Chain A
Amino acid sequence: MKKYLFSFITLACIVGFSSCEKEELSFTEGDIQIEIETGEHWLHDFPLLLGITKKNPPQFAIWLEDTAGNYISTVFATYKIATEGWQSNNGNRRKEALPYWCHQRGVVYEDGLLLPTKENPLADGITGATPKENKTLQLRLKSFNEPVVIKAEFNHSIDFNEFFPEDAKVGDANYSGGDMGSGQPAIIYAGTLNPVSNELELQIIGYSSPDGSNGNINTDFEKLTTSKTIVGKIKVTKK
C-alpha cells in the first residue's frame, strides 16, 4: 500500500508540475490576432431543474469572406454547433442557433439542413469549447493580397425578451424555436481588414433570422436587448 501510494503521489506530482507549463500563442509578423472580449451578458442563466440554473456561455462562429460576400473559411466554431453536440435536444438540430454562418458557409448535410452533424462535424482544429472568459485566436492567411472580411455570429439560447417571446408560434415572424429555442436571434459582427491596415474593431451589422429559416441580416436593433452585450469587443490586430 505504501509503495503504491508513493508511486501514485510521484506520478501525480510529475503530471502536476507539467500541467503548470503555460500554453501560449506565438505570433509572427503578418499574423492576425483576433481578441474576443466578453460582454455583460456573455454568461446566461440556463435552467437545469428545480430552479437550479447554470451559467452558459454563447454559441459562436468566426469566419472569413471576401469583399463580394463569398465564404472563405471558418476560423473557430463552438463545439455544440460544430459537432451537433447539444445535450438532451431530442433531435432538435437548433437551426436558429447560428443561421447566418450556416447559410454563408452553404454546406448542406444529409437531412437538408446547413448544420454540421455528429457524423460529419467541423474539423477538430477549428472546433472548441465555448470559453467562459475572453478568447484569443491566431490567424495566418496563406495569401493576403486582397482585403478580407472577418465575420462573427453569437447566440444564447432562451434569452427571450418582449419582441422574441417564449410563446411565439411557429410561422410568427418572431418565432425563435419554441420554449427551448433561441429567444433573441443571433447577433452578427463584421469588419474588413486590408493588407495595409493594422487594427480593426468588428461592428454589429445586424441579427439573423429568428427561426433560422434564411440567411438574411435584420437591422431593427431596437428589438434586441441583452444580446447586444453578449460581446464586449472584438479587436483584430495585424502583427
Chain B
Amino acid sequence: MKKIAFATALFALISFGVKSQNPNQVSARLSTNQFELGYQRKFIQQKIWGETYIGLGNQDINKNFDDVIAGLRIGTPIFKNEKNAIHLAAGIGLYFSNNDIYSLVMPVYSGFIAYNRYLGKSEKHSLLINLGYQYGKKDYKQEYSSADIYTATIGSFKVSPVYLSVGYGFHFK
C-alpha cells in the first residue's frame, strides 16, 4: 500500500504544473509484435490515468498473432500544449502463449513514454505513439520419450525488450 501511495505521489509531483486534460479514452494500438485495444480513465486524481488493455501478440515460437495479452497501465502527463501531450507511464501485464511446443502465462513489466497528437479542434481524436522498455521472460521444460530415447531440455521465452506502438485514441467525457 505504501508503494502505491509513493507511486501516486511521485506521479502527482511529476505532473505538477502540467495543464489538466480529459484522460478518458478508448484506443487501438499496433506494433510489430502486438495489437491491443485499450480503455483509459482518470484514476485516483485528475492527472493520473489508468488503462486496461487486451490484445493479441505474436512473440511466441510460431510467430502467429494468436497469443493473448492483457494488462494495466498507469500514467501521468509530463508535458501538454494545445496539440500535443507527453505522458510517462508504467504497466504490468500478462502474456498467454499459444503454440504446440509450450504453454505458459508470463508477467510482462513495462515503462514507456506515450505521445498524443490531437487531431482536429475538439481534442476528441488523437494519434498515439508509445515508446519504451518491457521485460518478460520465462523458462519451460520440454520432454520426449520414444522406444529408443528419453530427452529433455529447458527452453526460454522472452518478449522483445523494445515496445513501440502507433495507434488511434478517441476521447470521451
B150-169 contacts to A, CB under 8 A, are: 150-157
Count class of interface residues, chain B: 35 or more
**Minimum distance in angstroms from B148 CB to a CB of chain A:** 5
Binary contact readout A199-236 vs B (1 if CB under 8 angstroms, 0 otherwise): 00000000000000000000000000000000000000
Chain B interface SS verdict (over half): strand
Nearest B-chain residue to A87, judged by Cβ: B63
Residues of the B chain whose Cβ atoms lie less than 8 Å from the Cβ of A72 = 148-149
Determine whether the beta carbon of A73 is less than 8 Å from that of B72.
Answer: no
**Counting CB contacts under 8 A, is B62 at the interface?**
yes
In contact, B63 and A12 (Cβ under 8 angstroms): no
A125-148, CB under 8 A of B: which get 1 and which 0? 111110100011111111100000
- A73's contact among B50, B146, B153, by CB below 8 Å, is which? B146
In the complex, what residue of chain B is closest to A14 when comparing beta carbons? Answer: B107
Residue of B nearest to A72 (CB): B148
Q: Mark out the residues of chain A between 55 and 91 whose CB falls within 8 Å of any chain B CB in the assembled complex.
A: 64, 72-73, 75-76, 79, 83, 85, 87
What is the bound-complex CA distance between A185 and B101, given in angstroms?
28
Q: Which residue of A lies closest to B43 (CB)?
A: A1
A23 within 8 A of B: yes
Residues of A within 8 A of B63 (CB): 85, 87
Identify which of B101, B140, B144, B156 contacts A131 (C-beta below 8 A).
Answer: B156
- In the complex, what residue of chain B is closest to A76 when comparing beta carbons? B153
By size class, the interface of chain A is 35 or more
- Interchain CA distance A9-B152 in the complex, whole Å: 34
Q: Per a CB cutoff under 8 Å, which of A5, A23, A139 touches B151? A: A139
B152 near A124 with CB under 8 A, answer no
Q: Is A8 an interface residue (CB 8 A)?
A: yes
Let me know if B2 is at the binding interface, CB within 8 A. no
| Beta-carbon contact of B94 and A123 below 8 Å | no
With beta carbons under 8 angstroms apart, the residue of A4, A19, A129, A141 that contacts B61 is: A129
The answer for the CA separation of A141 and B145 in the assembled complex, in Å, is: 10
19 contacts between A and B (CB under 8 A): A4-B52, A9-B72, A12-B93, A25-B141, A72-B148, A83-B62, A123-B144, A124-B101, A124-B142, A124-B144, A125-B151, A128-B153, A131-B155, A135-B153, A137-B152, A137-B153, A138-B151, A138-B153, A140-B149
